[in-house]
Amino acid sequence: MVGNLFTKERIPDKLPKELEVFVKELRKSKTKKECIKKAYIFLLDRYRGQRVYTYLKFFNLFISDVDKIWAKKGFLHCNVLNYLMRILLIKSGLFNEKDIKLKWTLVWYVSPHQYLEIKINPNEIINVDLWANAYGVCFGDYAHGFH
């Protein structure tokens, strides 16, 4: 286990078979935005954020083994969801590490929260916050304050 709260976890060479199959689908994306949206929907079909579990499952913050992560369903911490998103986007071949930034905010003005800022082109970025989708935060936005 490695704490990947403030730094980018290394992208693994090998992925679980289901993820490898999906990466092949992502490579067919016509645009970067389409790729992000496909990955977003794919991950939301399996995972979600939950306020209570954020605190009750504190030690899951530090999981970085992609096989162990993929074996889970339901709740994942924001940083772990972001790690999966980074893996998918980078493995798609449409993005590199410089295109994806880890960003931090405070949810309810007290709870630290990580989301992604993804560069689509030199003049356009999109925020991605998979964890906050369960609370009505839409694609392109991120949780903050009492949002």
Q: Residue 110 has what pLDDT?
A: 65
5 pLDDT above the threshold of 60: no
Assign residue 113 a region: left if phi > 0, alpha if psi is -120 to 50, beta otherwise? beta
Residue 145 clears pLDDT 80, i.e. is over it? no
pTM of the model: 0.89
pLDDT band at 1 (very low <50, low <70, confident <90, very high): very low
Q: Are strands 74-75 and 47-48 parallel, antiparallel or unpaired?
A: parallel
Indicate the pLDDT class of residue 2, thresholds 50, 70 and 90. very low
Starting at the edge strand that comes first in sequence, how are the strands of the sheet with 100-107 ordered? 100-107, 111-121, 124-128
Q: Which of 88, 89, 60 minimizes the C-alpha distance to 75?
A: 60
Name which of 79, 64, 89 is nearest 115 in CA terms.
79
The pLDDT, as a whole number, for residue 31 is 97
Contacts of 125 (CB under 8 A, 6+ apart): 117, 118, 119
Give the tens place of pLDDT for each residue, 21-31. 999 999 999 99
